[in-house]
Amino acid sequence: MTARIGVYPGTFDPVTLGHMDIIRRGAKLVDRLVIGVTTNPSKSPMFTIEERMATVRREVADVDGDIAVVAFDSLLMDFAEGQGAKVIVRGLRAVADFEYEYQMAGMNQQINPRVETVFLMADVALQPIASRLVKEIALYGGNIGKFVPEAVCAEVVARVEKIGRKGS
């Protein structure tokens, strides 16, 4: 029997408790979950891809299941095919996410109909969390401890101290 491989793609800049929720739940749906760390040209990352991969690897170390963390800079469907994946795992937080993700799933289906997209609803308590908002809160000196793992919080705070806080 062939292993069911899934890909969970994202920038993970930084990895949030919402991401971790989807990773834990997604890992239960497949035999191997590949976390694809990418750079989105429309986003300005706070951390390098190497830093993000190291952070994700550290944070998933205690998650049950076969999990790999791999960088990619290509079409998602090409990456998924290269990983042997038959499933793309995506997290949904709100209606706005659904509209975007639905459109992306349709485009991806046109590119590679052999790979299905599976949507997981974020835990209700984690639905408002977005990496973009976490970075914004941190840049203005707010407490992000409720939104990211403890070690990630320390890394974001240290990076903000290095690059300078806004409003100060």
Question: What three-state secondary structure class fits 110?
Answer: helix
Q: Is 52 left (phi over 0), alpha (psi -120 to 50) or beta?
A: alpha
**Residue of 19, 52, 90, 135 marked active site:** 19
Residue 42 designated active-site: no
Residues 6+ apart with CB under 8 A from 36: 7, 8, 9, 10, 70, 71, 72, 76, 79, 83
**Residue of 52, 90, 131, 135 marked active site:** 131
**Residue of 28, 43, 146, 166 marked active site:** 43
Residue 165 designated active-site: no
Residue 93 designated active-site: yes
**Residue of 28, 86, 90, 93 marked active site:** 93
Residue 90 designated active-site: no
| Residue positions annotated with a catalytic role | 19, 43, 93, 131
